[in-house]
Each structure stands twice: as C-alpha cells, then as structure tokens.
Amino acid sequence: MFPFVLLPLIIFLSSVIAHEHQANRRLPSPTWHHSLDHSLSYLFRREDPDDDGVEYPDVGSPEWTSKYPNGPPNPTQMPSAWMNRLKAAVAAGKIPAIPVSSGPANTNPTYPPGHDPTSHEICSATYKCRIDGDIWDSPSNIFGLGFDDGPLPPSGKLYDFLMQNNEVATNFVIGLNIRQNPDMFLRAYREGHDLAVHTYTHPHMTTQTNEQVVAELGWSMQIIHDSAGGRVPKYWRPPYGDTDLRVSAIAREVFGLTCIIWNHDTEDWSLTSNGTTLQAIQNSMTQWLTGPKEPGLIILEHELSDQSVQAFLNAYPLIKSNGWTIKSVVQTANDTNPSPYHNAPNTLDGPVPVEDILPPQPQSKTSTSSTVSSTTSTDSHSSVLTASTITSSSPHASTTAAHANSAFSIGTHLIAAATWSSTGVVLTYFLLSCF
C-alpha cells in the first residue's frame, strides 16, 4: 500500500522540479564566485559566505537598496578600484582625449567647434560612425532578441510571453531601475534571460566625463553582480546609441565591456508620446522580417511600456513564419565564448580567463585588453529616470541570491542524475526502488 500512497506525491514533486528546471533553463549549474586573487575580484569582490561571516542582504530589502545610488552616481564616491583602472588606462594612452559633448535633453549631443563627430578621431555612433569591431548585426538568418530599459512594471507581460514561447532575450538593464524594481529584475534573472548593462541612469554617455562614464557603467555592473549570484556582465548598450572612441575605450579598458548597438530601430520608445503607432511598427517589422537575411537582425526594442511590449508580441508570429532563428542578442556575438558574463563557466575551457580580457592594472592585477565593439544607429528616447539623493555604497555588496543560486545548483545536479520525462516515470521508479 505504501508505494501507492507515495506515488501521487512523487509525481507531483517530479512536475514541480521539472517546471523549475524549465524556468531556469539557461542558468548554469556551477557557482559564480571567483577567487579573491582573481582579476575580477579587484573590481567586483564577492566574498565567500562560508569564510567572511557576512550576512548578505536580500535583493529588494532596505539594506540592499541603501547600497546603491538613488540617482546619477557621484564619481567621487565610487570604489577606488574602478578609478585606479581608469587612471592606469589614461596613463597608458588607451583613452582618447576627445572632448565631452553637450546639448539639451532629447537632442543629439554636439561637440565643440572644430571637432567633427564623424572623423576617425571621434567616431560618434550618434552620427552613424561605426567603430571597427563593434556589434550591430546578427549573423545571417539570426534574429537577435533583446530589450532595453528594464526592469519595469510592463516587463512582466513580456516575460510571460517569452516563457510561454520558450524564448530567451538579452535584457539591457538600467541600474536604477533594478534598484526600484527588484522583484521584476529577479524574475528576469531567475527565468534565465541574459543580463547586460544599459548604464545606471540612462544619460547620453558622450556628455559624461571619464569619471562619470566609469560610475555609470560600474554601478550598473555592481548591482547586477550583487543581485544575480555574482555574475559580471561583459556586454553593454549605450543609451540612445550614444558612444564614441573615448567612451567605448573606457568601457573596454576599465570593465572589459563590449558594445552592442542595432541595425534597425522600431522607435517603440515613442509609442506613449504619439511618436509612432503599433501599426507603423508592424509595417516596419514586416518589411525587415520579409527582407534579406544577410545580415541578420538586431532590432531596437523596449520593455518600457505596455505598448512597446505589445509591438513585439504583434511581430513575433512574423519572425517565426519567415524562418528566422531567434537567439538572445549576446548569443549572436561573434565570440569564442558567447556567454553574457565574464566569469561564466565554459564547458570546453573552464572559467573565462578575465585576465585575458581586462588590461594591466595596479596592485599586480594583469590582463590584456579585448576587442572594442560597435555602433551605427541612435535611440532618441528620453530617460525614464529622475535625479535624486545619492547614496554611497560599498563595492563589496552581495546578496542572498548567491545562496538561492547554490541551492538551485544542487537541484540541477540532482535532476541531471535522472532521465527526465513528462510523466516522471524514471524518477518514480528510482524512488520506489528504495522501498
């Protein structure tokens, strides 16, 4: 009688675990901590919770929230490790001495007289200049799936749809939006979407000083790292597509970040201001999706509003019916290790050697620089954020997400030990055999 009483419970547990396995379909099983003498640890130190005795705050808790700026980050309050890397890169002549651009909000930034933004000395993406090696096309036949400006309340509808259709996207997230919408961020992370940097407060990056660029990128990376089990992003997208040789060099030399832009713009950011319509976007998508498949598509889309999410939902059947292969944007990168994270496990080569990505730095942290990335279009949507009081924070913040990730890691190893089927028959047989 006992096995017959146990059988319904076993089947129920099998379905629950199988669902969890599917929900976390892209999360790898190894832990994401790096050793304390690792190059990454100099920038984003993730303490060993078994050794340091620190209780890491839950994502979304007041203690967690207090660790991150509540507006544009103050460059004088960022971790010294970031500043040291910037100083080393400048001293080595790796950061071009390009003047900071300026201009009113919602307009393209301009450079001082005598500085041509399309010249080889500046190469501004806002003015369609393409930095050699930057990513703005997908490979042939590939639709690169990604969304800007999350996490936000409308993101939930998007994540529902992606889960239902077993699709994985790149979320180019804004650091302050993570701080303000932690539950939605955790959902993107736990459902296996790729996390990339979209700065902390969404400014035109060429209008920022060298130190401000570092702060905007660094704090976005820090809050992602602390809230997603220690992951360190290796891709970024500049707000409005605004970067130049100076900004891209800082992103690359200080943080090893590769830039991803786009080759088509839906302008869906302007749906809420009557700048475009759902029908106009559908017409453009029809043209692009029924056209040539060389090069592949990276289309600028947003999880900014219910309307922008709906624009993607409307176009999705066209993507599928026209034979496009859908991949997360960062998975389309021409990269020997296409993971979205510097410290991702590589099943062939082991952990990514970050020392081979980041440039030489003080304190005997050595590495070499990576290839710079690209840009050709501009995104003119306005920032959804407002400045407010800045809260100082420690670069050593972490979260209990690491513990949750470790627990899931154990679960996935157990799952791998059984051959899964929709009915859980194999697992049932294994457990019953124990009685």
The pLDDT of residue 132 is 83
- Reported in sequence order, the residue ranges of 107-193 that DSSP labels E, i.e. its strands, are 142-148, 170-173
Rounded distance between C-alpha atoms, residue 74 and residue 71, angstroms: 9
Is residue 302 annotated as a catalytic residue, yes or no?
Answer: yes
Can you say whether the dihedral through the CA atoms of 337, 338, 344, 347 is positive or negative? negative
**Phi, psi of 299, deg, nearest 5:** -105, 130
Give the pair of three-digit tokens for residue 388: 């407010």
Under DSSP, the state recorded for 68 is S
Our measurement of the distance from residue 236's CA atom to the centroid of its chain's CA atoms, rounded to an integer in Å, reads 7
Residues in the chain: 435
* Helix, strand and coil percent figures for the chain, each rounded to 5: 40, 10, 50
The pLDDT of residue 357 is 62
Is residue 379 annotated as a catalytic residue, yes or no?
Answer: no
- Find where tokens 């808790």 sit: 61
For residue 280, which of 262, 268, 292 has the smallest C-alpha distance?
A: 268
Radius of gyration in angstroms for the set of CA atoms belonging to the chain, rounded to a whole number:
22
Catalytic residue among 33, 38, 193, 302: 302
Please answer whether residues 186 and 227 qualify as being in contact, where contact means their C-beta atoms are separated by less than 8 angstroms. Answer: yes
Catalytic residue among 33, 34, 137, 148: 148
- Give, for all 435 residues of the chain, the pLDDT tens digit: 444 444 545 444 444 443 343 334 444 434 455 666 667 778 887 655 444 444 568 999 999 999 999 999 999 999 999 999 999 999 999 999 999 999 888 889 999 999 999 999 999 999 989 998 789 999 999 999 999 999 999 999 999 999 999 999 999 999 999 999 999 999 999 999 999 999 999 999 999 999 999 999 999 999 999 898 888 999 999 999 999 999 999 999 999 999 999 999 999 999 999 999 999 999 999 999 999 999 999 999 999 999 999 999 999 999 999 999 999 999 888 666 678 888 776 534 445 555 556 665 554 333 333 333 333 334 444 333 332 333 333 333 333 333 333 333 333 333 333 333 344 433 333 333 444
Rounded distance between C-alpha atoms, residue 386 and residue 180, angstroms: 12
Q: What is the largest CA-CA distance in the chain?
A: 88
Beta bridge mates, 137 = none
The pLDDT of residue 345 is 60
